[in-house]
Structure 1
Amino acid sequence: MLIDELKNLKLKNWSAVLNEDEVLWLELNKVHKSTNTLSSEVREEFGKILSIFEKGIAGKFSEKIPAGLVIHSKKRTGFCAGADVNEFVETAEKENWEISSRKIVYDGWYMFEKLEQLSKKIPTIALVRGFCFGGALELALSCRYIVAIDEETTSFSLPEVQLGIYPGWGGIKRLPQKIGPINAMNMMLSGSFVNARKAYRIGLADVLSPARTVENSCIRLIKNQPKKTELNHINRLMQGPLKKVAYFLIRRSLKKKAIEAHYPAPFGILDLWLKQNGDPTKDESIHSKILGSRTAKNLLRVFLLREKLKSLGKINTKAKNTDQYPIKHIHVIGAGTMGGDIAIWCVLQGFIVSIQDLSVEQIARVMKKASRDFSRKFKNKYKQKSLLDNLIPDLIGSGVKKADVIIEAATENLEVKRNIFSEIEREAKSTALLCSNTSSIKIEEISKKLKDPNRLVGVHFFNPVLKMPLVEIIKSNQCDQNFLNFAMNFTSRIKKLPLPVKSSPGFLVNAVLMPYLQSAMRTVDNGISPEDIDYAMKSWGMPMGPLELVDTVGLDICIAVGETITQSEPTPICLEELTQKRHFGKKTNQGFYKWEKGRKVSKTKLKLTDTERKNLAENLIKPLIQKTISLVEEGIVESEELADAGVIFGTGFAPFLGGPIHYHKNK
């Protein structure tokens, strides 16, 4: 009997149960791991399972084969995170990386081709609860049906492009067939996620079911075997006679967002879809173009750097004053751009947040923005309202006494910050974590008026808070390690990446950014246009030009931060002249650029040649690289890896280069 043959395999990571409806429930539960991944061992076992089914279909067992197959997982973390990235990283470190990675891709491709063939013989279902990423989604796509449990945590993604690789186990073939080329390429070329409801809406999930009835939904699917919904006429054309037209339009749009020499993976995905219908075994050159590039190895490195920062946030706070108090209430002081966005972000992560400011208008602006942000993110009106209820306007600071975490996000003025913390200390709980969102002032200076300076930690967010993943955790000479751990843990709980740095002017990110920005502004003083400078740096790989960044941050902020960080350097002439005219950038609609309705207006034609542009970019980035190296040598940041991570996630330094120090060493 087939079920007995499966049990004889003595599988470690899979278990099979045949229920009374003759449906085989195959559970993935990677042994000794909190998260499922399709490691080599898991894939090998799954291959053996498929072979048993092939024998059953060929009639080699006396009993009939199961009526259907449901692949699922009961792990709390989710269905499956896809391929084991660590195995890819280990492979990347070998000399024959291109060949060994090709074997991983080909083996996965052939395995899911077998699953697809099985799905034509008997109904197969991927039952998804929680995340279904990468290779796991490719497995699901090889099944006849996908059933998604209707919960906020259920999500689907093919994020390989973010690692510089591609979905070579059939995703490029099957996702466009299921949801159409445009939707499929939107997911694959960006690595973006779709939740359960959107997955159902676009046709990725065949059934959307609440958890309590999902078992019945699966059995009903297997019994009835409904025909799968076909693509609409336009999508069928783009998959057929208009495929080249669709390819051209998507590629043209992609070229506006990415440079192929920097990021070959999205372009390779498109080529593999057009030329080989996603089959990587038919054209080795595409695999070589993607996996043979330094980008793939560098982006895998960036993934590991991200994971390292995540692990730092999982510190167990065993402090006698902090571990007994779960974080329920967060109090933010300052309803400006940063304070408001910090408050909104914390509410989105499930916390009650009070926001304090002397200005009713500022608080009203934050509440209005919060309402807008919540309605964009969630369609459910009840969800929007419940989130807004958790954001509490607080003119008089009543939230200070209740808060477990207090974040000061006031203006970058030392005396203002000192006075705020003197008042907070008198009112706050003794266990409360006191945080300053200062961008450049040393924590020792801010804490001078405190009776107990050990409690104050720098927790520096970056603008825009809703997009920037990094938070610098700044330790002063007096800071208690327990409260520092508390700050790291808090940062992790609000789903940000904590980077521990020592208290020093500008810390890491602003300390490396200011010399770079000032170098760009001195180049303007020397007669090069902002347009040429910004274009040079974007062509080099930065996500935004330095002068557009100055306009976005604010020229007044740059002067204030520059005075703190680069005291020995004179202020660039162009910066002084613009600020004297009160041209502070985007917020005043005039800076290095003119701004209209929040958009940059650029009129100056580019004059530099490609060679001049490349040389300019290399010269402009040097101060940033040199400063990063010196901060590691001074011990401001613990290691080169953490420094690279901080600069990538805090400044947007070109990820495909693997970080400033890594780039410098491997140039």
Structure 2
Amino acid sequence: MMLTSKSIKGREAHELGLVDVITSANELVNTACSWALEIVEKQRPWFKSLYRIDRLPDLVEVKDVLRFARVQTKKKAPNVQHPIVCIDVIEEGIVSGPRAGLMKELLSAKMLEQTQTSKSLRHFFFAQRATSKIPNVTNIGLTPRKIKKAAIVGGGLMGSGIATVLILNNFKVILKEVNEQLLSAGINRVKGNLQSFVRKGQLTKEDRETKFSLLSGVLDYEQFRDADVVIEAVIEDVLLKQQIFSDLEKYCHHNCIFATNTSTIDLNLIGQKTGSQDRIVGTHFFSPAHVMPLLEIVGTRQTSSQVIVDLLDVAKKIRKTPIVVGNCTGFAVNRMFFPYSQAASFLVDYGLDVYHIDHVITQFGMPMGPFRLADLVGFGVATATRKQYFQSYPERCYKSMLLLQILLEDNRTGESSRKGFYVYDDKRKASRDPDLRKYIEKSRSMGGVMQNPKLMKLTDNDIVEIILFPVVNEACRVLDEGIALKASDLDVASVMGMSFPSYRGGVMSWADSLGAKYVYDRLEAWSKDYGQFFKPCEYLAARAHQGASLAAKVDGAKSRL
């Protein structure tokens, strides 16, 4: 519990001996005073009440437990200090007595408070709580309208996940599909999602049935007439989305919010065939929608402030952390991370090993490397999104897609086909594939690319920086263009959307800990050696030359909201 910051409920804490008594809220103060007086009057032994050790096994067993905890902690959290310090404090209290343990805790807390990890975690804590504060939107006296009924178009993985999170939080939901077979599949996905919460002990069977009763399935738009919000969650097809929004306008009431779960497509394009631009908004959930904590709320310059306020309230009710961003290809999260996989591909083209790159990135703190992530997402999706970025940002994309194309031609599509950059067993466990080398050599040959001796000598730290500094660079552009309101929003987005390590504070906070000038100098040097992909943007250059923080307020930037 202490090592993972796991929260527990009162009754469990009482059973573990962490609290002495459970009482009602009304009696809390009286009960506490009564216990304190009994200790003062020696009716209760104060030593036992404050320094309980009666639940502990003998010292030999305790040391074995702590030794095992140290080994596991070093494996699971190799980049942070505080879990090991926590174990040290516990051991001191057991071996040398409670007073010695408390003194070590005090000194250790003071020491840890000064570390970069502590500063980063505190920054992230406050950044999370600041994402809902939107100038000229949340501070102009608008009150959220009541959203009681939501409709979802599309019952695939995303649509069913969104339906799940809504009914879990007591919203009535209509799920629409185009035929009975797809509708049944979508409803069954929602059932499966709810069952997963039952298996984990997070939902009772009775609660599951109550929540499921909030869902209804339809094949047309008739029941959308009293929906307060419609979320479109179909495939990334512009013409299909345009048709859906045009149809919605015919059936839904004039205050209904029209939301799209697109992850990359321009919202102005989606709403082009409607007269309702002021209520069109992006609600980009991350997959799986009923698990991932982030929600990107995407506004255009036409989207009304009332719609943003309404969706911020919905985000709060469904327990998502919202970030409000402007409209562009990729929005905030996907846009700032598109160079991530491209930088990794660049390194492989010029001689580095796929598996070594993934290992280095996971050692840095990401849950998986760029190639394992590509397998998880699937090469079809990866190829389609890359094409969109090539169209939108051609001057700064690493153009080579040969390796992915060659793998796709051989029916290696990622984890779903059990073969991608890795191979997968029946339990989806990934293993390295010696055959991958021949595909890489073929792509180098077709692209006329040779191994680069200088790049092949990169240290692990160099690899981290050459992959993540282009992400920082793109994040700076996102700020400069007014897509995001503040750097701390991008920190939250990087941690909660792409699993960047929270103990580094988020991608911008991490870059600031290194210094804007350092990041700029590295990118500038790489751009001279390896091309425009690494060219630092004006925002980063200005802050490097001024010695300013990347989080410093942007002068003259025009918000896209």
TM norm structure 2: 0.75
The one-character-per-residue Cα deviations of 1:120-144 (angstroms, maximum 9, x if unpaired) are: xxxxxxxxxxxxxxxxxxxxxxxxx
Residue matched to 2:112: 290
Pair 408,252 (structure 1): closer, same or farther in 2 beyond 3 Å: same
Residue matched to 2:9: 195
Pair 397,498 (structure 1): closer, same or farther in 2 beyond 3 Å: same
Query: Do the aligned partners of 2:23 and 2:31 also contact (CA within 8 Å) in 1?
Result: yes
Aligned length: 472
RMSD, aligned CA: 3.4
Pair 373,355 (structure 1): closer, same or farther in 2 beyond 3 Å: farther
Alpha-carbon offset, residue 295 of structure 1: 0.6
Alpha-carbon offset, residue 503 of structure 1: 0.5
The counterpart of 2:83, out of the listed 254, 260, 266, is: 266
The counterpart of 1:445, out of the listed 231, 248, 269, is: 269
The counterpart of 1:546, out of the listed 370, 373, 377, is: 370
State whether structure 2 residue 186 is matched by structure 1 residue 366.
no
Give the AA of the match of 2:492: A
Residue matched to 1:634: 481
The counterpart of 1:405, out of the listed 224, 229, 251, is: 229
User: Does the residue aligned with 1:350 lie in a helix, a strand or coil?
Assistant: coil
Matches within 5 A, 1:227-238: 236-237=56-57
CA distance in 1 between counterparts of 2:469 and 2:427 reads 31
Relative to its length, the structure with more strand (as a share) is: 1
Matches within 5 A, 1:449-468: 449-468=273-292
Give the AA of the match of 1:263: V
Residue matched to 1:561: 385
State whether structure 2 residue 327 is matched by structure 1 residue 480.
no
CA distance in 1 between counterparts of 2:33 and 2:462 reads 64
Residue matched to 1:577: 406
Higher alpha-carbon deviation: 499-508 or 642-651: 642-651
Pair 611,571 (structure 1): closer, same or farther in 2 beyond 3 Å: closer
CA distance in 2 between counterparts of 1:389 and 1:610 reads 60
Query: Do the aligned partners of 2:92 and 2:104 also contact (CA within 8 Å) in 1?
Result: no
Pair 398,527 (structure 1): closer, same or farther in 2 beyond 3 Å: farther
Residue matched to 1:594: 423
Give the AA of the match of 1:369: G
Matches within 5 A, 1:58-69: none
Residue matched to 1:660: 507
Residue matched to 1:510: 334
Residue matched to 1:257: 76
Give the AA of the match of 1:308: A
Matches within 5 A, 1:321-400: 323=144, 325-358=145-178, 359-375=182-198, 376-378=200-202, 380-400=204-224
Alpha-carbon offset, residue 600 of structure 1: 3.2
Query: Do the aligned partners of 1:436 and 1:460 also contact (CA within 8 Å) in 2?
Result: yes
Alpha-carbon offset, residue 586 of structure 1: 2.1
User: Does the residue aligned with 1:624 lie in a helix, a strand or coil?
Assistant: helix
Residue matched to 2:319: 495
Query: Do the aligned partners of 1:441 and 1:506 also contact (CA within 8 Å) in 2?
Result: yes
Pair 337,274 (structure 1): closer, same or farther in 2 beyond 3 Å: same
The one-character-per-residue Cα deviations of 1:389-442 (angstroms, maximum 9, x if unpaired) are: 122233334542232121111111111111111111211122111110110001
User: Does the residue aligned with 1:270 lie in a helix, a strand or coil?
Assistant: helix
Pair 385,610 (structure 1): closer, same or farther in 2 beyond 3 Å: farther
Query: Do the aligned partners of 1:476 and 1:502 also contact (CA within 8 Å) in 2?
Result: yes
Pair 275,201 (structure 1): closer, same or farther in 2 beyond 3 Å: closer
The one-character-per-residue Cα deviations of 1:532-583 (angstroms, maximum 9, x if unpaired) are: 1111111122232111222222221111111112332324222222223343
Alpha-carbon offset, residue 201 of structure 1: 5.4
Give the AA of the match of 1:268: V
Residue matched to 2:124: 302
Pair 345,598 (structure 1): closer, same or farther in 2 beyond 3 Å: farther
CA distance in 1 between counterparts of 2:126 and 2:299 reads 24
Higher alpha-carbon deviation: 409-418 or 373-382: 373-382
Give the AA of the match of 1:264: Q
CA distance in 2 between counterparts of 1:401 and 1:210 reads 45
CA distance in 1 between counterparts of 2:26 and 2:114 reads 47
Alpha-carbon offset, residue 208 of structure 1: 6.0
TM norm structure 1: 0.64
CA distance in 2 between counterparts of 1:576 and 1:302 reads 39
User: Does the residue aligned with 2:292 lie in a helix, a strand or coil?
Assistant: coil
Give the AA of the match of 2:468: I
Structure 1 gap ranges (5+) = 1-186
Give the AA of the match of 2:361: M
Alpha-carbon offset, residue 231 of structure 1: 10
Pair 522,263 (structure 1): closer, same or farther in 2 beyond 3 Å: same
Residue matched to 2:246: 422
Give the AA of the match of 2:64: V
Query: Do the aligned partners of 1:316 and 1:489 also contact (CA within 8 Å) in 2?
Result: no
Give the AA of the match of 2:465: E
Pair 210,339 (structure 1): closer, same or farther in 2 beyond 3 Å: farther
Alpha-carbon offset, residue 449 of structure 1: 1.0
Residue matched to 1:241: 60
CA distance in 1 between counterparts of 2:52 and 2:433 reads 46
Pair 515,282 (structure 1): closer, same or farther in 2 beyond 3 Å: closer
Query: Do the aligned partners of 1:276 and 1:283 also contact (CA within 8 Å) in 2?
Result: no
Structure 2 gap ranges (5+) = 435-454, 515-561
Pair 350,216 (structure 1): closer, same or farther in 2 beyond 3 Å: farther
User: Does the residue aligned with 2:194 lie in a helix, a strand or coil?
Assistant: helix
CA distance in 1 between counterparts of 2:367 and 2:33 reads 49
The one-character-per-residue Cα deviations of 1:21-41 (angstroms, maximum 9, x if unpaired) are: xxxxxxxxxxxxxxxxxxxxx
CA distance in 2 between counterparts of 1:270 and 1:287 reads 13
Alpha-carbon offset, residue 210 of structure 1: 7.5
CA distance in 1 between counterparts of 2:223 and 2:421 reads 41
Query: Do the aligned partners of 1:317 and 1:482 also contact (CA within 8 Å) in 2?
Result: no
Pair 402,197 (structure 1): closer, same or farther in 2 beyond 3 Å: farther
Alpha-carbon offset, residue 203 of structure 1: 5.1
Pair 231,297 (structure 1): closer, same or farther in 2 beyond 3 Å: closer
Q: Which has the higher contact order (CA 8 A, sep 6+)?
A: 2
CA distance in 1 between counterparts of 2:28 and 2:222 reads 46
Matches within 5 A, 1:63-212: 187-199=1-13, 202=16, 204=18
Query: Do the aligned partners of 1:315 and 1:488 also contact (CA within 8 Å) in 2?
Result: no
CA distance in 2 between counterparts of 1:447 and 1:282 reads 61
Alpha-carbon offset, residue 317 of structure 1: 9.0
CA distance in 2 between counterparts of 1:264 and 1:384 reads 40
Give the AA of the match of 1:462: F
Query: Do the aligned partners of 1:444 and 1:477 also contact (CA within 8 Å) in 2?
Result: no
Alpha-carbon offset, residue 344 of structure 1: 0.8
User: Does the residue aligned with 2:249 lie in a helix, a strand or coil?
Assistant: helix
Query: Do the aligned partners of 1:328 and 1:404 also contact (CA within 8 Å) in 2?
Result: yes
Alpha-carbon offset, residue 284 of structure 1: 7.0
CA distance in 2 between counterparts of 1:598 and 1:344 reads 25
Alpha-carbon offset, residue 609 of structure 1: 11
Query: Do the aligned partners of 2:150 and 2:228 also contact (CA within 8 Å) in 1?
Result: yes
Pair 264,386 (structure 1): closer, same or farther in 2 beyond 3 Å: same
CA distance in 2 between counterparts of 1:357 and 1:438 reads 17
Alpha-carbon offset, residue 310 of structure 1: 4.3
